[in-house]
Amino acid sequence: MSTLSEEQVGEIPLELKADLDADLVNEFISDAREQLENIEQGTLALEKNAQNQEVIHTLFRAFHTFKGNAGFLDLTAISQLAHMLESLLDGARENRLQINLVIIEIILKSRDTLQQFVDEIEAQNSGKKPRQIILIPTAALKVSMRHMLSDATAHPAKSVPGHTSESAPADMKAAPTPALSHDEAITANSAHMNGATPHLVKVATSKLDGLVDLAGELLIAQSLIVQNISSPTVNRHALSRNLDQLNRISKELQRTAMAMRMVPIRGTLQKMHRLVRDIAAKQKKNVQLILEGEDTEVDRTIVEKIADPLMHMVCNAIDHAIELPDRRAAMGKHPTGTIRIRAYHKSGNIIIEVEDDGVGLNRERILEKALANGLVKPGATPDEKELLSLILQPGFSTAAVVTNISGRGVGMDVVQKNIAKLRGKIDIKSTPGHGTTFTLRLPLTLAIIDGLIIRVGGQRYILPAIAVRESFHPKSGKVTSLPGGVEVVEMRKEIMPLLRLREHFHLMDGADDAGGGIMVVIETDGKKRCLLADELVGKQEVVIKNLGEVFQTDPMVSGGAILGDGCVGLILDASALVHLEPETKELKFAV
Amino acid sequence: MAALFLNDPAAGKGAGKYLTFILGGGAFGIPILKVREIIRLIEITPIPRMPDYVRGVVNLRGKIVPVIDLRMKFGLPTTATTNRSCIIVTLVTIASATKLMGLIVDAIDEVYQIHQEDIEPAPDFGKGAPTGYIQNMAKGKGHVKALLNIDQIVQDDHAILPLPSILTDKANSSR
């Protein structure tokens, strides 16, 4: 079954037929992505244990499905490659072929080729790229696979490991060392992570059933209330009980609806296996990755956006923290370094810890570099936390400072920025010689924030509570005008620029408050700013609504939320507020 | 779907049902398929540092919809709102995406079937006034209605789109 006739070998151009149903193609893509993920995980598991029959079966089935789906859409190039892979695994399944590193490598390479096909098809199907013939070389892969298979059939006895590698074509012999550099690995991996944006959502039936049940309860509660009100003698007691019921149901309904957006973080974490494998091999280090809490559920959008920062952190850990095996042995550590990624829920947040047992951060050199960069004033003695968080500042190359490995180190400031965009925080703990732990604290969802509602003139605005440090009466801080019209506030020997919101928003309509308003200090990106508002109205969880593209030119307003009285309150962007320049022009409406 | 119908050559260029409204004494029309709903003037949350004619955003059953004041956009004098003032929630197409946009007008007139023979292209109002947003003129019932291209009005980034005074003056005298 595994032999292909000669004419089928060679590069086969792939063309998306014009009459192909776009929905069908989308279905193929989303299914293919799932299979590709299974294949990658399976292959990596096979690398650890080549005898695992269960995994071999899974892989076989994955390629079989791939072949079938591609065949259905007439994507011959794909189905033939998948067919070869299927045959290869069939050989392994029937013990005709021994899985070894060369085979693992070729499966991974083929998987990446299939991924390229899928990416290209998706781009063309969605109209991002014009329809054209897709030509991705597959012949070399197919030829090497065929060699492996024919060798295996020529020597039907169980081949010794490494046997097939001798007969593989020359270019395949070098395969086990991945040819990707650190940076390339990042881009390649981030490409398939970003590309993996699913258009379809898989929801557990139990969640869906729960939602339907709640919708039913909601209808009953609603009809009870209508009955209560329309009856000639309104029973206040029954009415308030039913309203309570309605309240409970709507809360539950919201929770269930939000839960539908939650997916386990598993997929994102598991992708790190491949990354660790590739980079560790490249750097000639031994690294094992241990994942914990893969079933922790996180909002879909967060899962997607966390992938890049996590990848950077894992790369940094391998690149700069984990030592070479002999050095580790000399230090009395296990030659294999360990990176542990742990995900769990804690007080309404999701926590992701990235822990390595490498060299740890070198405090003296961080301070040295910070002094040289002017991030720390001479004579200042930043505490442990402040000192370590310096590496999150832009222009702070961890590579040069901490380990002296020159180079391609990815700036931690990028990670910090990405995490801040998700309204998260990073904590760093480090023991010299024993390793570093980065703790990411992220909100469970991006759709709801804890907001502090402030009043400015006749308007109410919402500040993200995570950015608010403190508030105080204006009298307790000293306001000084600097030349050029900039005002600063001095509070506990700290000087912060002041922003009078009422003037900034041109809300001069209302009378000045006798009390003089309230100062609110916000801090984000390591910068502070003091805002003068009229009143603190309260704290409330608000559901973030998009203002639509027309307002996206305004960096100050990050969204809107419906307040208790049905009016829209604008959510202010903390990052834009702290970075605000004194003079800003009027913005344009519409794009 | 709306766009499809409007571009249908069989339907005639510009003929069809229009929602007509009053603004500064003049009568204007927008294709009914661009209208999502009409709501009374509810509280509008202003957006800081936006041009004056952008009045802000409203809560339309949980959706946040921006609202622009057509009087201000056309540079007409602002007057106190009456109980006939309302917001027309329209579906506008900006950069090939359809969005909701509220327009404040003085009063709603009627839904009016405009026939092909009543439609005339917008005349040259002179003085180089930008008039692309006036798609056509429609005759009928003794006065002329200007049929507006809402997409273009919304996307225009001038603070004020001057309205040819003839449109409002003439209508004023006929009313």
Q: What single-letter DSSP state applies at residue A391?
A: G
ipTM of the complex: 0.75
Bridge partners of residue B111, in order along the sequence: B19
Using the beta-carbon criterion (under 8 Å), do A587 and B49 form an inter-chain contact? yes
Q: Which of left, alpha, beta for A548 (phi over 0: left; psi -120 to 50: alpha)? A: left
pLDDT band at B1 (very low <50, low <70, confident <90, very high): very low
Quote the minimal CA–CA distance from A237 to chain B in Å: 29
- Fold designation for A264-443: Heat Shock Protein 90 (3.30.565)
Best A565, A568, A571, A588 residue to mutate vs chain B (most B CBs within 10 Å): A568
Q: Cβ contacts (< 8 Å) between A507 and chain B: which residues?
A: 48
State the distance between the two ends of chain A, measured CA to CA, in whole angstroms. 59
* In contact, A300 and A263? CB cutoff 8 Å: yes
| Class of CATH domain B2-174 | mainly beta
- The CA distance from B44 to the nearest CA of chain A, in Å, is 8
Give the one of B50, B56, B94 whose C-beta lies nearest to A587's C-beta.
B50
The half-sphere exposure of A71 on its side-chain side, counting CA atoms within 13 A, is 11
The residue type at B133: Y
Distance CA B149, CA A332 (A): 77
C-alpha span between A578 and A365 (Å, rounded)? 29
Beta strands A297-299 and A262-264: pairing type? antiparallel
**Residue A94 CB: number of other CB atoms within 10 A?**
10
The first and second tokens of residue A317, run together, are 């850990």
Report the distance separating Cα A584 and Cα A572, nearest Å: 16
Domain A180-260 sits in CATH 1.10.287: yes
- Residues from A contacting B (CB-CB < 8 Å) are 459, 504-507, 545-551, 554, 556-557, 560, 562, 566-570, 584, 586-591
Measured CA to CA in angstroms, residue A506 lies from A218, A561, B44, B48 at distances of 44, 21, 16, 7
| Residue of B56, B59, B95 with shortest CB distance to A566 | B59
CA distance B154 to A591: 10
* Pairs of residues, one from chain A and one from chain B, whose beta carbons lie less than 8 Å apart: 84
Task: Quote the pLDDT of residue B90.
Answer: 93
Quote the minimal CA–CA distance from A55 to chain B in Å.
46
Cβ distance B51 to A589 less than 8 Å, yes or no, reads yes
Residue A79 burial (CB < 10 Å; 0-12/13-18/19+)? buried
- Judge contact between A480 and A526, C-beta under 8 A: no
Comparing CB atoms, the residue among B47, B62, B157 nearest residue A562 is B62
Q: B121 CA to chain A: closest CA distance, Å?
A: 27
Domain covering A6-176 in this structure, CATH number: 1.20.120.160
Contact B111, B125 (CB under 8 A): no
Of A506, A554, A567, the CB nearest to B43: A567
Q: What angle do CA A578, A580, A585 make, to 5 degrees?
A: 160
Is the domain covering A448-579 a CATH 2.30.30.40 domain?
yes
What string of pLDDT tens digits covers the 591 residues of chain A? 444 444 445 677 887 777 777 777 888 888 888 888 888 888 888 888 888 888 888 888 888 888 888 877 888 888 888 888 888 888 888 778 888 888 888 888 888 888 888 888 888 887 778 888 888 888 888 888 888 888 766 654 444 444 443 444 444 433 344 444 444 444 444 444 444 444 567 777 888 888 899 999 999 989 988 888 888 877 788 888 888 889 889 888 888 887 787 888 888 888 888 888 888 888 888 899 999 998 888 888 888 888 888 888 888 888 888 888 888 888 888 888 999 999 998 877 889 999 999 888 888 878 887 787 777 777 777 777 777 877 777 666 545 444 433 344 456 777 888 888 887 888 888 888 888 999 998 887 777 888 999 988 888 899 988 889 888 888 777 788 877 777 888 888 888 888 888 888 876 654 455 457 888 999 877 788 888 888 899 888 888 887 766 655 567 888 889 888 888 899 998 888 887 765 444 444 543
Helices and strands of chain B, counted as H and E runs: 4, 11
Q: Which of B49, B53, B58 is the closest to A568 by Cβ? A: B58
Task: Return the residue matching tokens 């969880």.
Answer: A541
> What pLDDT sits at residue A6?
41
Quote the pTM value: 0.56
> For position A162, what pLDDT does the model report?
41
Nearest by CB to residue B154, choosing from A545, A562, A590, is A590
Domain range list for chain B:
2-174
> Would the CB atoms of A459 and B46 count as touching at under 8 Å?
yes
Tell me the one-letter amino acid at A63. Answer: F
CB atoms A568 and B99 under 8 Å: no
Q: Which of the residues B41, B44, B52, B57 would you substitute to probe the A interface, choosing the one with the greatest number of A C-beta atoms within 10 Å?
A: B57
C-alpha span between A488 and A436 (Å, rounded): 38
The values of phi and psi at residue B64, to 5°, are -95, 120
Would you list the domain boundaries of chain A?
6-176, 180-260, 264-443, 448-579
Contacts of A567 in chain B (CB under 8 A): 43, 45, 59
Distance (Å, whole) CA B21 – CA B26:
8
Q: Which of A556, A562, A589 faces B48 most closely, judged by CB atoms?
A: A556
Closest residue to A568, CB basis, from B48, B57, B97 = B57
Which tokens is A295 given? 């079933």
CB-CB contact of A360 with A430 (8 Å): yes
Cβ-based interface (< 8 Å): residues of B facing A: 43, 45-51, 53-54, 56-59, 62-66, 68, 94-95, 97, 99-101, 154-157
* H helix runs in A439-539, sequence order: 501-504
Angle, vertex CA A515, rays to CA A511 and CA A520, nearest 5: 100
Which site among B41, B42, B50 would you substitute to test the A interface, given the most A Cβ atoms closer than 10 Å to its Cβ? B50
How far apart are the CA of B80 and the nearest CA of chain A, in angstroms? 17
| Cβ-based contacts of A570 with chain B (< 8 Å) | 45, 47-48, 57
Q: State the Cα–Cα distance between residues A514 and A526, nearest whole angstrom.
A: 33
CA distance A368 to A445: 39
A chain contacts of residue B63, beta-carbon cutoff 8 Å: 545
Output the pLDDT for position A138.
Answer: 82
**Residue A537's CB: how many other CB atoms inside 10 A?**
16
- Closest residue in B to A590 (Cα) is B155
Testing the interface with B: which of A505, A545, A550 to mutate, by most B Cβ within 10 A?
A: A550
